[in-house]
A and B are shown apart, each in its own frame.
Chain A
């Protein structure tokens, strides 16, 4: 079985631009969470989606948004990119929204210049 897949693996954007990151969860998993990992730090929780609804949100500005599709895949959107948005964006999937065990993808490395 395929694990959590994320695309693209690397991305370079200019300040002010918009970016969309994609994630496909493990087959059968209904919950997707997004995390931001800035270089040298631990990942920070951004969103959790379950059954296409937002179930949790971390301390991130409204420039960050996400959605989940009927097939449980998810997109993370970031508008008006700042240099500080440069990070590894990780997607995690789990069976349920209250499931404590999460499986992570390889991440998307976003560089904002």
Chain B
């Protein structure tokens, strides 16, 4: 079974400072990994994805993540936080469940707070 662990349930940063949201994964083979963002009362938006190409993945809104197989990590970073980044962030791993369906397994989420 595949799983992801988000190491922080809540992260608070000041506007203009770097963001680091941590995620570790568990997988029996090379996984596909994603970060999704969810703003209050909104659906999920894909930030970026890793599918065994470049280990440093660039996403939307200045976010990026680095796949580190040796550390089984896929941390999300952004050089400078903006107030609009305040949201819930989910680290996600994809697997093929029985019946050859693609199933997304979500972490428990990290709430990012951005203060002035």
Interface residues on B, range: 20 to 34
Tell whether, in the assembled complex, residue A100 and residue B49 are in contact, meaning their CB atoms are under 8 Å apart: yes
Tell whether, in the assembled complex, residue A101 and residue B46 are in contact, meaning their CB atoms are under 8 Å apart: yes
Instruction: Looking at the assembled complex, report how far the CB atom of A91 sits from the nearest CB atom of chain B, in whole angstroms.
Output: 9
Instruction: Looking at the assembled complex, report how far the CB atom of B9 sits from the nearest CB atom of chain A, in whole angstroms.
Output: 9
Tell whether, in the assembled complex, residue B105 and residue A103 are in contact, meaning their CB atoms are under 8 Å apart: no
Tell whether, in the assembled complex, residue B99 and residue A55 are in contact, meaning their CB atoms are under 8 Å apart: yes
Tell whether, in the assembled complex, residue B109 and residue A48 are in contact, meaning their CB atoms are under 8 Å apart: no
Q: Which residues of A contact B108 (CB under 8 A)?
A: 41-42
Q: Which of A62-70, A74-82, A104-112 interfaces with chain B?
A: A104-112
- What does the 1/0 interface line of A18-59 toward B look like (CB < 8 Å)? 000000000000010101000001111100101000111110
Instruction: Looking at the assembled complex, report how far the CB atom of A10 sits from the nearest CB atom of chain B, in whole angstroms.
Output: 10
Contact partner of A55 among B36, B42, B46, B101, CB < 8 A? B101
Contact partner of B43 among A31, A57, A90, CB < 8 A? A90
Contact partner of A100 among B32, B44, B45, CB < 8 A? B32
A90-B44, A101-B49, A106-B43 are contacts. A42–B106 as well, Cβ < 8 Å?
yes
- What does the 1/0 interface line of B84-116 toward A look like (CB < 8 Å)? 000000100010111111111111110000000
A104 and B45 alpha carbons, distance in the complex (Å): 7
A94-B102, A97-B102, A100-B102 are contacts. A105–B43 as well, Cβ < 8 Å?
yes
Further 4 A-B residue pairs, CB within 8 A, beyond A41-B109, A56-B103, A104-B36: A42-B106, A48-B99, A98-B100, A101-B46
B-binding residues in A (CB < 8 A)? 4, 31, 33, 35, 41-45, 48, 50, 54-58, 90, 92, 94, 97-107
